[in-house]
Amino acid sequence: MNMMTVAPDRVHEQVQSLRAPALQAAVDAGAACADLRNAPLREEWFREESEPEADWSFRARLLGDFCREMCPVMAECRELALRQGEGRSWQDDMVRGGLTGQQLVEERAREAERLAAAVAEDQRATVEWEVYMRAALRQLKEASVVIQAGAALEKARKESNARATEAAAELRAIRRQRRARAGWGEAA
């Protein structure tokens, strides 16, 4: 494994200003624990039911070190975990973003005000996005109605032209017959 050190406070402020979908996209793209080469670690981010406290503490420390030393998106992962309410105060059974569940709970309490504002902002951004998408869909529907109306108009115009051509041909035929009956020549 290539060891690389991620500055702990690397972009914390920058990361905190991101909306949840951007945080999630960063984690999806860069999570060190999702890398197949780290496969043995993938199943081990939660404490097993019967795992003794001492074993879990040891493992949790290793997992936290892994996040801090190997993961380029630790700040994003931690911010998401904090906003999503990960961790339980009564039981330490997971590691995310370099912190155990209980550490996440403590961190959330320390940053309660900022996180509440960030979650509210995420919700507002989601609502705005939905409104935007609904408007865009409406616009697309309108455009499609106009296109369909245009196509129907064009079809009606062609049918009408065809009927006019047929009527003109019938008229010419009737005229020819009348002239023939009257004994006039074709050009008369």
Under a CB-based contact definition with an 8 Å cutoff, are residues 118 and 16 in contact?
yes
Contact between 96 and ligand SF4 (CB under 6 A)? Answer: yes
Rg, C-alpha atoms of the chain = 36
User: Which tokens go with 174?
Assistant: 């009737």
Is residue 47 within 8 A of residue 56, CB to CB? The reply is yes
Q: Which is nearer to ligand SF4, 87 or 97 (CB)?
A: 97
Q: Is 71 in the site for ligand SF4 (CB under 6 A)?
A: yes
User: How far is Cα 114 from Cα 8, in angstroms, rounded to an integer?
Assistant: 19
CB closer to ligand SF4, 1 vs 156: 1
Q: Are 186 and 179 in contact (CB under 8 A)?
A: yes
Under the criterion CB under 6 A, does residue 83 sit at the interface with ligand SF4? no
Among 32, 60, 82, 94, binds ligand SF4 (CB under 6 A): 32
Instruction: Answer yes or no whether residue 77 interacts with ligand SF4 by CB under 6 A.
Output: yes
Please tell me the count of residues contacting ligand SF4 according to CB under 6 A: 12
The Cα–Cα gap between 45 and 63 comes to 7
> Are 115 and 82 spatial neighbours (Cβ–Cβ below 8 Å)?
yes
**33: contact with ligand SF4 by CB under 6 A:** yes
Cross-strand bridge partners of residue 99: 96
Q: Which is nearer to ligand SF4, 48 or 166 (CB)?
A: 48
Position among 47, 60, 98, 105 found at the interface with ligand SF4 (CB under 6 A): 98
Q: Counting contacts by CB under 6 A, is residue 97 touching ligand SF4?
A: yes
- The residues binding ligand SF4 (CB under 6 A) are 27, 31-33, 67, 71, 73-74, 77, 96-98
